[in-house]
Amino acid sequence: MTDARHHRIAVAGAGGRMGHMLIEAVSASTDCQLTGALDVAASPAIGMDAAAFSGQASGVLISADIRQGLQNAGVLIDFTRPEGTLAHLKVCRELGVKLVIGTTGFSEAQKAEIAAAAKDIAIVLAPNMSVGVNVTFKLLEMAAKALSTGYDIEIIEAHHRHKVDAPSGTALKMGEVIAGALGRDLKDCAVYAREGITGERDPLSIGFSAVRGGDVVGDHTVMFLGTGERIEISHKSSSRSNYAQGSLRAARFLAGHSAASLTCLTSST
């Protein structure tokens, strides 16, 4: 039985690092209840209690059966990979389960699939659920407008060795926010790689650099480099807990939206 007073949450990727953090956050909250836990069929966590990693018992077993995992859920929180998220999206759409998506690395076609599903269910899509990153985006928009000429813009991000996409979704969103503030299209001005004789830097370009290694949760720095000075705006995550708490805020937000809609936060790593 589920408690009508609680937001009924299912977690995708329940056996992974982010899944564990989400389950801990749901368990610690006073208004959310874990009703489902999903992972890929090959995961060693399949069949285990979703909170077993913490020495606790949630009463929810991790399953590879998407329908089973979603049968009692009002919202699915998904920080997996694009292919997995789209598989979950299809079933969420059929069952009327709302969706918080923190997955990154979507192609334009995959984003279009999410937008199409949002005609039937409410969805929050964000490359980063951190409240601090949301604030950082606002600061970047202000800085870009104030430093629109005479400053070169570079975005540097660092993540753990297991991250499979680059640049990070957060870095790309930073570029989109900056480009939008400057009246540019990121597709036309982004530079993702430099090697060999590259020639002088195009003053209208926005450069990206990605670092992968160790257990870095997520660091992002934007540099505005002028003549004789530079301004750096950084956000550094020391724990995934901020992503988890932001995801619960998004789930609560969806609880007040019964109509189909897509909310793309200007802020998943």
Digit-by-digit pLDDT tens for the chain (269 residues) are 455 557 999 999 999 999 999 999 999 999 999 999 999 999 999 999 999 999 999 999 999 999 999 999 999 999 999 999 999 999 999 999 999 999 988 999 999 999 999 999 999 998 788 889 989 999 999 999 999 999 999 999 999 999 999 999 999 999 999 999 999 999 999 999 999 999 999 999 999 999 999 999 999 999 999 999 999 999 999 988 889 999 999 999 998 776 677 776 543 33
Distances (CA, A) of 90 to 35, 83, 86, 139: 19, 11, 6, 36
AA identity, residue 34: L
The three-class DSSP label of residue 261 is strand
Q: What is the DSSP string of 122-149?
A: EEEE-S---HHHHHHHHHHHHHHHHT-S
At residue 140, φ and ψ (nearest 5 deg) are: -65, -40
pLDDT, residue 104, reads 85
- In this structure, the strands spanning 230-237 and 218-225 are antiparallel
CA distance 118 to 89: 10
Catalytic residue chosen out of the listed positions 20, 98, 159, 235: 159
> Cα 228 from chain centroid?
36
Based on the residue annotation, tell me whether 119 is a catalytic residue of this protein. no
CA distance 8 to 254: 12
Question: Per-domain residue ranges for the chain?
Answer: 7-129+240-264, 131-237
pLDDT, residue 2, reads 53
pLDDT, residue 134, reads 86
What CATH superfamily is the domain 7-129+240-264?
A: NAD(P)-binding Rossmann-like Domain (3.40.50.720)
Catalytic residue chosen out of the listed positions 163, 173, 220, 235: 163
CA distance 63 to 41: 8
Q: Which two tokens stand for residue 261?
A: 């809609």
Quick one: how many helices (H) and strands (E) in the chain? 8, 12
Cβ(138)–Cβ(78) below 8 Å: no
Based on the residue annotation, tell me whether 163 is a catalytic residue of this protein. yes
Q: Which CATH class is domain 131-237?
A: alpha beta
Distances (CA, A) of 200 to 101, 152, 203, 204, 241: 39, 12, 9, 12, 42
Which pairs with CB-CB distance under 8 Å and at least 24 residues apart come from 182-191? 182/144, 182/145, 182/148
